[in-house]
Structure 1
């Protein structure tokens, strides 16, 4: 029974990595759709979100089955419970990719934000894609150095997010009301995507080291 249990825990990890890979592909396509006004890519992201949701539900069902049948304790219990919470965060990251793509689709053939903000959003998108790829490796390897790198890149996104707000609220802002709303929403989606990645990184770091990273660290 112990061998079966270990196989099930390994399957949980494999499924988390698989979902994280889907999310990484999703944010990569979403940022390109947003920055390049590519409605085809936007439609792909929106359609593929159902795959992420379905994989997350299937993982949750597996984790609940393990809890009921194996009744794990100590670290094994933390792994299964953390998997449920990580699955939820990955699903929300997929939602953020979808929201970014929906903005691109709504504004097609125009670009979502004015020219003055495009470099900022290009950098936010680059950082989100980088974070998503590192998250895949973190879930695969539990290399805690990656968790620290994810947190540092999240700090960069937070700074860019504040910069967007400073610009759209500044006296020199020339955008229309719809530009202000779109920029604010898009910036928030990018920022929330990274926040969910940091939440996952903290859980993996805790499982790997036993040390919990406080929110203000």
Structure 2
């Protein structure tokens, strides 16, 4: 009975990792669609999002079945409750990639971004994809040290987001209000994608150690 239970829990963890991988792929494609004004790629992200939604529903149902039928305690209870929270984090990561793709589609055939900020979003996209991969690795390996280091990657995203605002606030900004709104929203989407990757790492640390680290307890960037 317990062997079957742990197999089901392992299957749930694998499913969460797969979802995280899909969210990373979605953000990678959404970024390409954004930078290249690629309508076909944007549409692919929008269509593929249904797969993440369906997987989220199945993962959440599996977690609640384990709670209801196995009455887990201690570490097993932490693992299942954290998994339910991780489902929500990964689902949101997929939704944020979807939002990027929708802006790219809405502005097509024009580019949504002024050329001046393309470099920022290319780098933000790269960091977001790396964070998605790191979160997937942490989910599958349950390595608390690797989880703690995700903050360093998130700091890079925060720096890019701050620098982007200096461009937006420059009095020489000449691209109009609509472009400023798009850039502001897009910057927020990438920042939140990274934040959810960090939350996944926190939840893995809690699963493994029973301790949920506060921001200041994570290692400082090197």
Answer whether TM exceeds 0.5 for this pair. yes
TM-score by length of 2: 0.94
- Structure 1 unmatched runs, 5+: none
CA distance in 2, matches of 1:36, 1:150: 29
Q: How do residues 87-102 of structure 1 correspond to structure 2 at under 5 angstroms?
A: 87-102=87-102
- 8 Å CA contact 2:93, 2:196 repeated in 1: yes
1:34 is aligned to: 34
**Contact (CA 8 Å) 1:135, 1:146: kept in 2 or not?**
no
Residues 71-80 or 169-178, more deviating: 169-178
Determine helix, strand or coil for the equivalent of 2:215: coil
Take 2:32 and 2:159, find their aligned partners in 1: how far apart are those partners? Answer: 21
User: 1:135-178: CA deviations, max 9, x gaps?
Assistant: 11111112234323321111111111122222112212111111
Provide the C-alpha distance between the structure 1 equivalents of 2:45 and 2:150, rounded to a whole number of angstroms: 23
Q: 203-212 or 163-172, which moves further after superposition?
A: 203-212
State the alpha-carbon separation in 2 of the partners of residues 212 and 93 from structure 1. Answer: 21
4+ runs deviating over 3 angstroms = none
What is the distance in 2 between the residues matched to 1:205 and 1:171? 44
**What is the aligned partner in structure 2 of residue 152 from structure 1?**
152
Distance between the aligned counterparts of 1:150 and 1:40, measured in 2?
32
- TM normalised by structure 1 equals 0.96
Q: Partner of 1:110: helix, strand, or coil?
A: coil
**Residues 168-206 of structure 1: CA deviation (Å, up to 9, x unaligned):** 122121111111000000000000000011000111122
1:13 aligned to 2:27?
Answer: no
The CA deviation string for residues 103-143 of structure 1, in whole angstroms up to 9 with x for no partner, is: 11111122111111111111100100111111111111122
Aligned-pair CA distance for 1:216: 4.1
Separation in 2, partners of 1:145, 1:114: 39
- CA–CA distance in 2 between the matches of 1:216 and 1:47? 39
- 2:13–2:139: 8 Å Cα contact kept in structure 1? yes
Matching residue of 2:69: 69
Separation in 1, partners of 2:23, 2:190? 13
